[in-house]
Structure 1
Amino acid sequence: MNTPTERYTAAKERSQETETGLPEFRASLGFDLDPFQEEACRAVATGSGVLVAAPTGAGKTVVGEFAIFQALRTGRKAFYTTPIKALSNQKYSDLVDTYGAERVGLLTGDMTINGEAEIVVMTTEVLRNMLYADSDTLDSLGFVVMDEVHYLADKFRGAVWEEVIIHLRDDVQVISLSATVSNAEEFGGWLDAVRGDTRIIVSEHRPIPLYQHVMVGGRLLNLFAEDLSFDQAPNAPESVATVNPELTKLAHRTMASNRPHGQRGRRPGSGSWGDKREQLSTRVSRPEIIMALDHAGLLPALVFIFSRKGCDAAVAQCVRSGLAVTTIAEATEIEQAIDLVAHKLPPDDLEVLGFWPWREGLMRGFAAHHAGLLPIFKEIVEDLFIRGLVKVVFATETLALGVNMPARSVVMEKLEKFNGESHVAITAGEYTQLTGRAGRRGIDVEGHAVVLWQQDTDPAAVAGLASKRTYPLNSSFRPTYNMSLNLTSQFGRERARGILETSFAQFQADRSVVGMAKQVRSREESLAGYAKSMTCHLGDFTEYARLRAELSNAEKDAAKTVSRLRRSAAAESLETLMRGDVIEVTGTRRLGRCVVIELDSAWHDPRPTVLTEDKHIRRIGVQDLNGPVEVVSQIRVPKGFTGRSPKERKDLAASLRNALAESRPPRRGAPGFDFTGSAEEEARITELRTALKAHPCHGCPEREDHARWGERYTRLLRDTSKLRSQISGRTNTISKTFDKVATVLEDFEYLVPASADADQGQITVAGQRLRRIYGERDLLTSLVMETGAMNTMTAEELAGFISALVFHARREENGPDPRMPTAKVQLAWETSVNLWSQLSDAEASAGLPETAAPDSGLIWPMYKWARGSDLRECLRGTDLAAGDFVRWAKQVIDVLDQLAKIPDLDAGLVRSCNRAVQRVRRGVVSYSNVVD
């Protein structure tokens, strides 16, 4: 029985908890809070900010929902921010179900619903823009939930999260929800530094156990020797030792069967038929994958295929196979859901949208999910999957940071993806993020991750990915033109620099500097020891060591000069060769005397083909020579000579030997060629050698002992200097970038140069307008706008042209610029290209990354769409997917809307912007399930 003191303490805690509203919130959930959720909610209740880092599906959003509950309970507003519009739409719908439509709003740039509500869901960019505009909507704001906050590592958009965290009022509680990251303490330490009291709550426990498998053929094999869940899986490299031995044996057999014939270790009797049989036994088609999962009770499933075409093809393959994983009742319910949307779409667009095959796949239980899919279709797929009607979704990795779509199992078709430049292996963090969707809380008792066996699968590598690894959160923050002007406008240039120094990027840089500075101190101690060991009684051995090092470097430089001259002379001699020339090849290959039988037209790297005296055909290049070749004779090479037949080679080799017998002896090098360094280099070497011999330490009997310590001293001094340089480069890096950005803004007269009289800097009228333009090409957009080239455009011309300042083609094209729709668009396009050229030059001079060039790939489609053409006509002749077109159209709307709201802008341009928004926002571009 508890003591009276213990009972009193417990009663007091219950009373305090009641005051926070936590018992009421807990009762509304219908399930018990996990320990990390309980701890985080208590921290929110006591007024602290929190960082919650936990695996996907662990229930982090409950903490954000408690913050909303607290806001309503205390009469304050709550904002819920997400990285993407789809997630904002989904969260809006969830909160409307809980609190009612009158209390919840949605702001996503292209959509505004009840924007002054008590609870507003929004993309993070919308909140950033509010902060810079000092919007009245921020009044009474008490809580901001930042879902998927680890998105701040995103190369293109991550800086927005840091801007919001830095600029929110101190009295606003920030609830940051993150996937499990390995440096949560570091990130939490930064939050505590810039936001005040912030609790860091980390959980690596998955409420739904996750088991790992490999599918070989149609069989599901456990990845680990024992059936281990995510929480039980060993950390790498220990995980390697626990790999299922059956998989290890299979890998060895596959490796042996893939060896070329004749290699040692090949199985007796394993001919080509045996090799093919081994491969076929491990392969499995996509319909077979689904049947195997269904048989194992692992549907619904997400199958990650890192290709849009691959996802679409997978659905088509399943349909063609006749496979269906839905009941008649489920198919009927799916059909009804589709029909609710279909009648709202233009009938003429259904075919170009791929509606009918999409519909058939859904009714059979299959769907694709990727960025090229029409947003309406994605919303339906998400809804039907969550309802348990669609059983298999083939998705790209974009789903990993997207909407809430958990499944019973997650399948990884391959463990590599195309990153835009090359195929790369996925990281452990990406694997954890993707497979983390397996296991639906409240529905499944366990989740399952499945990797498909490939011929090059390494079970140990898969085990390493599947072990409990996390990934570090690294800032992508850097000042942009828009950000720099907004900060300068609000705080002045010097204070703006100081604010930027509080970014997570600088926080991380400063932390790394601490470790580097410690290394410098350690090396300085070693340098002092080396200096003591090389002390010489005859003089300053440090100076003598410096002279030796300088001499060594000078001799190396001279040797490089000689090597460069040899290569240059060799290349020049190869370029002058003619068919039939007889030469002698010394150098690395030592081919001896040869006759040139074929020339190479590559002037920068000539590689003629020769026939040697022993009848071998070879190609020679500069790297095969130690100097220029000299022609020692000339013979006739038959016109039709190919070198394919032994008789041809034998006859020509005989002619070669005869010609050599009659000619003078070959010389080794070209006449008069001087293989020495430059006169300046030779003079410097002579000078250093003289100074070295004249130095007092040169005569020391212990000179070489001292010299060994001197060499160590010189190497360490060089390395230490590099480290000091790195420290200098990381100190105040963000403010240095800000200064570079300010320089470019000054060059284009957006910012008045700072001076003794106006050290805060002054923003020009053009700069004030640029403050309202957000996007990757913000300054370029403003530069074009300031020329007036857009002022007299019609709505459709403006929509088409603005797309050039938004669009990025998926594949780089270097063809000629297309003919533009009208003369006004042509003029604006040429203006934008010229201004971009000036801007990129200024950026290069300032040491800044280059702004993306304008892209004409969407001008015609967007122009046609704004004129009223149907989707088929707009997409004709392009490789744009319908979903991509809609996504880019919404970004065009966003920029047009930004321009229309700039104060004191040309009235004609404002009217055209508003009309263009209306003309672009129609049909499939305007539709969303959120408003229904």
Structure 2
Amino acid sequence: MELDVFAAQLSFPLDAFQDQACRALEAGHGVLVCAPTGAGKTVIGEFAVHLALVSGHKCFYTTPIKALSNQKYADLVDRYGKASVGLLTGDVSINSDAPVVVMTTEVLRNMLYADSPTLRGLSHVVMDEVHYLADRFRGAVWEEVILHLPEDVRLVSLSATVSNAEEFGAWMGTVRGDTEVIVDEVRPIPLWQHMMVGRRLFDLFDTRANTTAPETGRAATEPSARLVVDQELVRYLKQRQALDRYDSWQPRGRGRGPAPSSSNRPLPRPEVIARLDDEGLLPAITFIFSRAGCDAAVTQCLRSRLRLTTEDQADEIAAIIDKHTGDLPKHDLSVLGYWEWREGLERGIAGHHAGMLPAFRHTVEELFVKGLVRAVFATETLALGINMPARTVVLERLVKFNGETHADLTPGEYTQLTGRAGRRGIDVEGHAVVLWQPGVEATEVAGLASTRTFPLRSSFRPSYNMSINLIDRMGPGEARSLLERSFAQFQADRSVVGLVRSIERDEKALTDLRDQLGGPDSDFFEYAQLRERVRERERQLERQGRTDRRKDAVTSLTALRRGDVIAIPTGRRSGLAVVLETDTDPTDPRPLVLTEDKWAGRISAADFPAPARALGSMRLPRHVEHRTARTRRDLASALRSTGIVAPGRYSKRKSPAASDRELTALRRALRTHPCHTDPDRDRLSRIGEKYNRLARETETKRQKVAATTNSLARTFDRILRLLTERGYIAPGGAVTEHGHRLMRLYSESDLLVAECLRNGTWRGLAPAELAAVVSALVFESRQDASVADRGPTAPIRHALGETVQLWSALRTDEVRHKLPLTREPDLGFVTAIHKWAGGEPLVDALLAAGDRGQALSAGDFVRWCRQVIDLLDQVHQTAPDAQVRSAAAKAVGAIRRGVVAVDAA
């Protein structure tokens, strides 16, 4: 057996789940393996590589991110040699014809759509971190690959532990055939849970309460973890809270009142690390849910006397730093924060987040794995697959910003983060430490640590590019059938089963209630239905009133002119405002305004229950730099000095219910109905209301069932109608010349890019100008900021203006077809990339891309440059105009220099 040969090459015996998965794979089955972080899932992927090689076939090893691809490529090269292993990550291509190729999942998806000859001879595909298919932005790629791979390819899917593994496995069996599901929930390294309160370190769980397995009582993945919280910790927290309440009301100066309590303050970060070092709990990863927080933590440690390395280790660290950063331009080192970063590493301390220069981040990863860096402050992105286990994981807070609001960590997120604790082959146990903060209850932490819920939810939705590729490959009918086989539809159909059962129960209850009213032909049932018609007409008129008010508000906003002074009637921004930029979008106008309290931003119809009207006007400079604090302050002062006063009351449209003849007639019929004066009316009316309410809820469920069933296919049909209208698909269903161009565009704004190329919007731009305009379709500002500038040159401003016009027209069509809206172009990177592609220094480019006076981080700058390069490469391959193709190629060369070139190497 090949498994025996493979296992003999390993330095450790296979665990039971590894052995089971490998045997299934050798027997010709596909496998889905769900196991905790650090359990050794990748061994199964490596066995797939072994099987492919000994049989003379190919194996593709896919990962979700470039860093993981690089890591796995290095591992496989060490085992099989450079001649047998290749790497494809979009911007890097090494030995692509090798029998084993490591690649990002997007690369494989693109190969499948292009029917690449590289796919010939493929026998196995490993999909590492397959749970990424839940990612709302990129998850669809995983399902596309699973659905499109040839049937004879064996799929090895490796996932973190998810609570619905059986459901996911059932779908895999449906679309891929024979698939064995292997679930292992036992951590190879036991995880012990602690809380640090001040300088004291407490066990979270009470091991003495566990009479069955005391040696595993504190392991969060064991059943015993749901036992009571350690009572010593509970008593200490109660004493501390009582002391805090006493301290906070002691006399202070001349009066009494709350005073800051020293016991309330979290332990400084250097002291936390020193305390962990004393307990032998380093190396440690401290998760801080902000990039700025990670950098601040390193700075705090550098200001202290904390040093975690010897002189010999510092010398070894320096050599590794030089290896990774030797090619960086010397004149850019200061702006990159190189010297502070280097000092931190030589003292054994580092940050790790997406805003770092990739060369810096890779250095940190290597040093941490070697045990030379012993304290890392990281954002949660480190928990997503990078092989950087630690002895201890520290959580400063149990709340993080999710992109919209600050939310509590979920049990799944807690498990993902603490899963980094415990290095297999090095540690006998891992440790998770939660730093106590005021308001944090030990029981809440225990609940997080002992709950294992991480359901996998599909994010699959048809896009323009996906849809037209499907049409070209298999036609509308087969494409629709493929979408109906997606995991998203599989989950939707399963949810419908429960709804249908609920509807059946509702119908029985409705029959019972109807009988209590005397049956469907009774007077009281008629009376109940009449009451429902009155209420439904009232609701309908209220909806009409809201629609009319919004229509009035939209009309009034589109009529505003630059310099008009208006009054925002409600909300946090209520008061006077001056219009800086108009917006004539007939569906959702969002003019840019500046309020008298110095806030600048876009308003919408939702801010105006009554129409907006100009109360006066004021003169504005030709160019208003509204993102500059000084400009906002001066304009707000000028606004207040106009003497214009906001009205005290706002007239509103009269309610349609007041003059509606149908509602008047229904109310009259209700009053004159024989049951209206019946002595038993109140009791029977309550039954009637219950009937009507349940009938409404049941109808809502029926509509949900209808909307859910074949929902993806309906979205697909709408996309086809829009693409046919715009000439990407011929009336007979064939893909046109413009459609074939769209097939090769994989941008998030794929159709908008295709429209710009089709209309010659970017024709005549110089390379740096083209890079600037293209950046608007990939860049996303981290802050909710309005357009800062329209571009540094006239050609850029003209091209951006036409691009935005095309986006607006596309958006109108998407609204009409009820499709997800293409993201609005973001001009926040335009000047920065223009400077960089034009050869200007890094520091100028970083400052130009900054927000609120803060320069963009070097890591973010490189990341956005790479995304611009990626789209420019696509433009180079697909543009119908030779000048645009040439400018795109030259722009790529101009961007790929300095720190960007070092990262791409």
5+ residue gaps, structure 2, are 209-213, 547-565, 576-653, 851-855
1:259 Cα deviation after fit = 5.5
2:170 corresponding residue in structure 1: 189
> Cα distance, 1:683 vs. partner?
2.6
Q: Distance in 2 between matches of 1:504 and 1:832?
A: 35
The residue number in structure 2 matching 1:134 is 115
Q: Deviations over 1:420-463 (max 9, x none)?
A: 23211111101100110100001110000011111121111111
* 1:359-398 correspondence to structure 2 within 5 Å: 359-398=342-381
Pair 43,236 (structure 1): closer, same or farther in 2 beyond 3 Å: closer
CA deviation digits over 1:237-262, x for unaligned, max 9?
99676112233234434554566999
User: Within 5 A, what are the aligned runs for 1:483-632?
Assistant: 483-535=466-518, 539=522, 541-551=524-534, 603=569
Write the letter of the residue equivalent to 1:715. Answer: R
- TM-superposition CA deviations, 1:527-572 (whole Å, max 9, x none): 2233333336984653343124334666899999999xxxxxxxxx
Deviations 1:111-131 (A, max 9, x none): 101111111111100000000
Paired residues in the alignment total 797
Of the candidates 295, 299, 322, which is equivalent to residue 282 of structure 2?
299
Aligned residue type for 1:901: Q
Aligned to 1:886, which of 842, 845, 862?
Answer: 862
Counterpart contact for 2:250–2:257, Cα < 8 Å: no
Q: Secondary structure at the match of 2:33?
A: strand
1:115 pairs, out of 91, 96, 105, with: 96
Displacement after TM superposition at 1:70 (Å): 0.8
1:114 and 1:439 map into 2 onto residues whose CA distance is 35
> Which residue of structure 2 lines up, in the alignment, with residue 784 of structure 1?
756
Whether the 8 Å CA contact 1:83–1:123 is kept in 2: the answer is yes
More displaced stretch, 914-923 vs 172-181:
914-923
One of 755, 769, 775 as aligned partner of 1:803: 775
Indicate whether 1:838 and 2:813 are aligned. Answer: no
Deviation at 1:917, TM superposition (A): 1.8
Kindly provide the CA deviation profile for residues 618-665 of structure 1, in whole angstroms up to 9, marking residues without a partner as x: xxxxxxxxxxxxxxxxxxxxxxxxxxxxxxxxxxxxxxxxxxxxxxxx
Shift of 1:607: 12
Q: SS of the counterpart of 1:901? A: helix
Deviation at 1:864, TM superposition (A): 2.0
What TM-score do you get using the length of structure 1 for normalisation?
Answer: 0.80
In 1: Cα distance, 2:217 partner to 2:888 partner: 54
Is the 1:772–1:899 contact (alpha carbons within 8 Å) kept by the matching residues of 2?
Answer: no
Deviations 1:197-228 (A, max 9, x none): 11111111001000001111122111112287
**Which structure 2 residues correspond to residues 87-106 of structure 1 after superposition, within 5 A?**
87-106=68-87
**Equivalent residue for 2:419?**
436
Percent identity of the aligned residues? Answer: 51
1:198 paired to 2:179: yes
Q: What residue in structure 2 maps to residue 858 of structure 1?
A: 829
Distance 1:71 1:222, change over 3 A: same
Whole-angstrom distance in 1 between the partners of 2:85 and 2:221: 44
Change (3 A) 1:763 1:252: same
Q: What is the distance in 1 between the residues matched to 2:80 and 2:223?
A: 48
1-side partners of 2:184 and 2:117: how far apart? 37
Match of 1:161 among 126, 130, 142: 142
Return the letter of the residue paired with 2:784.
E
Which letter does structure 1 place at the counterpart of 2:749?
Answer: R
2:238 aligned partner: 252
d(CA) in 2 for partners of 1:601 and 1:713?
Answer: 46
Q: Hey, what's the Cα distance between the residues in 1 that align with 2:82 and 2:521?
A: 90
Answering whether residue 47 of structure 2 is matched by residue 58 of structure 1, we say no
- Separation of aligned partners in 2, 1:59 and 1:860: 46
Indicate which of 330, 339, 356 corresponds to 2:339: 356
How much has 1:803 moved relative to structure 2? Answer: 1.3
Distance 1:452 1:234, change over 3 A: closer
The secondary structure found in structure 1 opposite 2:870 is helix
Moved more, 414-423 or 158-167: 414-423
- The Cα of 1:798 is off from its aligned counterpart by 1.9
Task: Please name the residue that 1:286 is paired with.
Answer: 269
Q: For residues 158 and 862 of structure 1, what CA distance do their matches in structure 2 show?
A: 29
SS of residue matched to 1:841: helix
- Seen in structure 2, the aligned counterparts of structure 1 residues 302 and 185 have a Cα distance that, compared at 3 Å, is same
For residue 702 of structure 1, report the CA deviation from its aligned partner. 7.2
Bigger radius of gyration among the two = 1
Structure 1: unaligned runs, 5 residues or longer: 1-17, 564-599, 609-672
Q: 1:71 to 1:510 in 2, by over 3 A?
A: same
Q: CA RMSD in A?
A: 3.3
User: Which residue of structure 2 aligns with residue 772 of structure 1?
Assistant: 744
Distance 1:346 1:458 in 2: 50
Output one character per residue of 1:282-322: Cα deviation in whole Å (capped at 9) or x when no partner.
63111101101111111111111111111111111111112
**1:615 matched residue in structure 2:** none
- Partner Cα distance (1:876, 1:676) in 2: 57
Q: Does the CA contact (< 8 Å) of 1:282 and 1:453 recur in 2?
A: no
Structure 1 position 779, deviation (Å):
0.9
Distance in 1, matches of 2:244 and 2:456, equals 40
Structure-2 change in CA distance of 1:267 and 1:698 (3 Å): same
The aligned amino acid for 1:891 is: Q
TM-score, normalising length from structure 2? 0.83
Superposition pairs for residues 252-331 of structure 1, below 5 Å?
252-256=238-242, 279-280=262-263, 283-331=266-314
Give the distance between the partners of 1:752 and 1:543, measured in 2 at CA: 54
**How many Å separate the matches in 2 of 1:863 and 1:751?**
35
Q: Which amino acid aligns with 1:896?
A: L
Residue 902 of structure 2 is matched in structure 1 by 927
CA contact (8 A) 1:212 1:229 kept: no
Distance in 1, matches of 2:869 and 2:902, equals 14
Q: Is the 8 A contact 1:547 1:692 kept in 2?
A: no
1:790–1:909: 8 Å Cα contact kept in structure 2?
yes
Offset of 1:819 from its aligned partner?
3.6
Displacement of 1:692: 2.3
1:217 corresponds in structure 2 to 198
Aligned with 1:780: secondary structure? helix
